[in-house]
A and B are shown apart, each in its own frame.
Chain A
Amino acid sequence: MPDFDPLFFAEVLVGGLLAGVMYSLVAIGFVLIYKTSRVLNFAQGSMVLLAALTFVSLLERGVPFWASLLLALAAMVLLGLAIERTVLRPLVNKPPITLFMATLGLSYVIEGVAQLVWGTQVHGLDLGIDDKPFEVGGILISKFDLVAAGIAAAMVALLTGFFRYTRIGLAFRAAADDQFAAFAVGLRLTRIWATAWVAAGVVALVAGLLWGARLGVQFSLSFVVLKALPVLVLGGFDSIIGAIVGGLIIGAGEKLSEVYIGPFFGGGIESWFAYVIALVFLLVRPAGLFGQQLVESA
């Protein structure tokens, strides 16, 4: 290995942090649903795929950009409502692990439907953000990553404001605190769950557009769920801040380890290294960085 170069280290670190923001983007969708309904939604990845695939397919059929965006948004809203109605409501009060298995099935259904409707070919997606790196203090930074980070920040600000200042946001927090108490004071839990799934669908659309522009819109887009899981474990399933910090740690850890540790293993370790970071961390703090409590077994 060559001598340690602080500038190169900084560049890898910044690249990793920005990549981590992309993970956080997916993880936030999980957190929204977990906070309100205590469901770990494995289907979040396939929702990302469905959203991106719907958008790009409409675009390719000549639908204007904003109309495609609105239609994809509408599709995600309908999906969220349908899931609450057909999957969540019949399974209410079942053990959390049963609901998790249901979302596993759900992810298969969504992937199947998305590709039966729109086909299985790979689509390129150009959002008009050019990916030319530019230099800051000797460090190369990707403009695309920076824009993605900005969008993620805006989304977090929006969600935080929504939770803090709106009536439905207050209801969200009540349901997250204590479902039974929320129900007892007359909050309609089914409506809250539906809203949470719709919000997660919207987050999936944003994540889908950014990830799709990066990787191309194809089946493997649904694997971003596997990138988000260690982030969630690290940050705690019920904390948006945790999802952000977890994403940054995983992103930076992954890139740094790939560059500085990877060569000793022959490379390609990013498929599992995030899980090792998360696991080591969990052994010290079993509820994650910002998690509320230990998740009980089913």
Chain B
Amino acid sequence: MNASASRFPRWLSPVALLAVAYGVLPLVGSSYLFEAILTPFLALSLAAVGLNLLTGYAGQVSLGSAAFMAVGAFAAYNFNLRVHGLPLLASLVLAGLVATALGVVFGLPSLRLRGFYLAVSTLAAQFFVEWALTKFSWFSNNNPSGVIDAPSLRIFGFSFDSSIGRYLFALTIVVVLTGLAQRLVDTQTGHNFIAVRDNELAAKVIGVPVLRTKLLAFAISSFIIGVAGALWAFAYLRTVEPAGFNLDRSFQIVFIIIIGGLASIRGAFFGAALLAVFPLILSRVGSYLLGDRFDSGVLDMSQRLVLGSLIIFFLIAEPDGLVALWDRLKRRLLPMPNNP
């Protein structure tokens, strides 16, 4: 893609990352690292990859990501519960497909609405799904408060129930889907997404099927976000209620792609890393500075304050997100001999 190929082959950094993620981290990491940081990071990254395809690449703003995460989680739970002998991976794929179907339905307004009007209409998905999952206890197998418990994670007889196991389970699914997403953006379909985002009329003129492209973006994005929701429920929290997928969660995913970088698959991971780590840092720093006065209420509010400021800061100072910062840093540290 660029001159960096002359010094490092393009495949090097993904392979190195995978080697660390699979080879090094499981040997050196503590269970706290896996359970509190890496697994939620992976699930959020995947959801952000899904939203970035829709919003970053195809230009359709959605404020309802958490709804599709919820659908993925609850659908996976129900497939696993009600269809006996269904392999876990099959329930995950089916859950993704249920989220896809719903994504297409709630994507239909995009055929006529744009910008703010579309963003507001995606809120309908958010509130409808939260209501339906709470209202109809069938979805949570008649649990009075709508809570679901994750099943044991077994694939081909291997158990992934330890904290490292759940991490590896999430990691593998995230790697596969991210790889597919990265492939997608380099294909004609990916280019169609960008064409529709940049100029709908021009896209139509050069023969891009605009309506189909928009619905496809909603479909693919919802599938990925749905699987991410299932990971969030099964690999990270283990016990989830519909309120865990509220509007704040949707905004969190939006914030991840803004901070990480719109229209960048890597950006989703950068943003998710920041959002997974910063509450922990904030709580350490806060209790160090303020001691007992830094209770959970204050923590929650300072989190909102810092997060909101970060969003405004990035929009003003670095609209291309952490990815752009990272690339600039890399250029400075590793000057290209043939590209000064």
User: Which residues of chain B are near A207, meaning CB under 8 Å?
Assistant: none
In the complex, per-residue mask of A247-288: 1 if CB is within 8 Å of any chain B CB, else 0 = 000000000000000000110110110011011001100100
Asked if A205 lies at the interface with its beta carbon under 8 angstroms from chain B, I say no
Cβ contact of A265, chosen from B61, B127, B135, B311, cutoff 8 A: B135
Q: Is the CB of B112 within 8 A of A112?
A: no
User: Which residues of chain B are near A276, meaning CB under 8 Å?
Assistant: 124, 128
Cβ contact of B116, chosen from A96, A112, A269, cutoff 8 A: A96
Asked if A163 lies at the interface with its beta carbon under 8 angstroms from chain B, I say no
Q: Is the CB of A275 within 8 A of B127?
A: yes
Cβ contact of B311, chosen from A101, A115, A120, A286, cutoff 8 A: A101
Q: Is the CB of A295 within 8 A of B116?
A: yes
Asked if A184 lies at the interface with its beta carbon under 8 angstroms from chain B, I say no
Surface stretch bound by B, among A12-20, A102-110, A135-143, A145-153: A102-110
Residue of A nearest to B313 (CB): A105
Residue of B nearest to A113 (CB): B305
Cβ contact of B113, chosen from A87, A116, A282, cutoff 8 A: A282
- How big is chain B's contact interface, by range? 35 or more
Asked if B208 lies at the interface with its beta carbon under 8 angstroms from chain A, I say no
Measured CB to CB, the closest approach of chain B to A118, in angstroms, equals 10
Q: Is the CB of A297 within 8 A of B59?
A: yes
Cβ contact of B115, chosen from A269, A282, A296, cutoff 8 A: A296
User: Which residues of chain B are near A91, meaning CB under 8 Å?
Assistant: 315-316
Q: Is the CB of A116 within 8 A of B301?
A: yes
Asked if A109 meets B309 with Cβ closer than 8 Å, knowing A97-B115, A295-B116, the reply is yes
Q: Is the CB of A40 within 8 A of B315?
A: no
Q: Is the CB of A282 within 8 A of B112?
A: yes
Asked if B298 lies at the interface with its beta carbon under 8 angstroms from chain A, I say yes
Q: Is the CB of A102 within 8 A of B124?
A: no
Asked if A233 lies at the interface with its beta carbon under 8 angstroms from chain B, I say yes
* A260→B158 CA distance, assembly (Å): 53
Q: Is the CB of B308 within 8 A of A116?
A: no
Cβ contact of A279, chosen from B124, B308, B315, cutoff 8 A: B124
Task: Give chain B interface residues in 93-137, CB to chain A under 8 Å.
Answer: 109, 112-121, 123-124, 127-128, 130-131, 135-136
- Do most interface residues of chain B lie in helix, strand or loop, or is the interface mixed? helix
Asked if A294 lies at the interface with its beta carbon under 8 angstroms from chain B, I say yes
Give the total number of A-B pairs whose CB atoms are below 8 A apart: 138
User: Which residues of chain B are near A266, meaning CB under 8 Å?
Assistant: 135-136
Asked if A226 meets B117 with Cβ closer than 8 Å, knowing A279-B109, A298-B59, the reply is no
Asked if B297 lies at the interface with its beta carbon under 8 angstroms from chain A, I say yes
User: Which residues of chain B are near A110, meaning CB under 8 Å?
Assistant: 308
Q: Is the CB of A98 within 8 A of B131?
A: no
* A261→B116 CA distance, assembly (Å): 29
Asked if A297 meets B114 with Cβ closer than 8 Å, knowing A104-B251, A112-B305, A275-B123, the reply is yes
Q: Is the CB of B114 within 8 A of A294?
A: yes
Q: Is the CB of B121 within 8 A of A279?
A: yes
Q: Is the CB of B301 within 8 A of A272?
A: no
Cβ contact of A105, chosen from B116, B117, B312, cutoff 8 A: B312
Residue of B nearest to A284 (CB): B112
* A109→B301 CA distance, assembly (Å): 9
* A282→B112 CA distance, assembly (Å): 8
Asked if A101 meets B315 with Cβ closer than 8 Å, knowing A268-B135, A279-B121, the reply is yes
User: Which residues of chain B are near A296, meaning CB under 8 Å?
Assistant: 114-115
Measured CB to CB, the closest approach of chain A to B338, in angstroms, equals 35
Measured CB to CB, the closest approach of chain A to B169, in angstroms, equals 32
* A94→B312 CA distance, assembly (Å): 13
Q: Is the CB of B124 within 8 A of A297?
A: no
Asked if B165 lies at the interface with its beta carbon under 8 angstroms from chain A, I say no
User: Which residues of chain B are near A100, meaning CB under 8 Å?
Assistant: 61, 116, 119
* A186→B306 CA distance, assembly (Å): 38
Q: Is the CB of A109 within 8 A of B123?
A: no
Asked if A111 lies at the interface with its beta carbon under 8 angstroms from chain B, I say yes
The winner among A91, A230, A269, A271 for most chain B CB atoms within 10 A is: A271
Q: Is the CB of B120 within 8 A of A101?
A: no
Q: Is the CB of B119 within 8 A of A120?
A: no
Residue of B nearest to A111 (CB): B304
* A253→B61 CA distance, assembly (Å): 27
In the complex, per-residue mask of B133-167: 1 if CB is within 8 Å of any chain A CB, else 0 = 00110000000000000000000000000000000
Q: Is the CB of A105 within 8 A of B131?
A: no
Cβ contact of B128, chosen from A90, A230, A272, cutoff 8 A: A272
Asked if B303 lies at the interface with its beta carbon under 8 angstroms from chain A, I say yes
User: Which residues of chain A are near B35, meaning CB under 8 Å?
Assistant: none
* A108→B41 CA distance, assembly (Å): 22
* A134→B136 CA distance, assembly (Å): 38
Q: Is the CB of B127 within 8 A of A108?
A: no
Nearest first, the 4 A-B pairs at minimum CB distance are: A108-B308, A105-B311, A112-B305, A109-B308
18 chain-A/chain-B pairs, Cβ below 8 angstroms: A40-B116, A91-B315, A98-B319, A101-B254, A105-B315, A111-B308, A115-B297, A226-B247, A233-B120, A266-B135, A276-B128, A278-B121, A282-B113, A282-B117, A286-B113, A295-B115, A298-B59, A298-B115
Query: 13 other contacts beyond A271-B130, A272-B131, with CB at 8 A cut-off?
Result: A40-B116, A94-B319, A96-B115, A101-B258, A102-B312, A113-B305, A116-B298, A226-B127, A233-B121, A265-B135, A275-B120, A282-B109, A282-B121
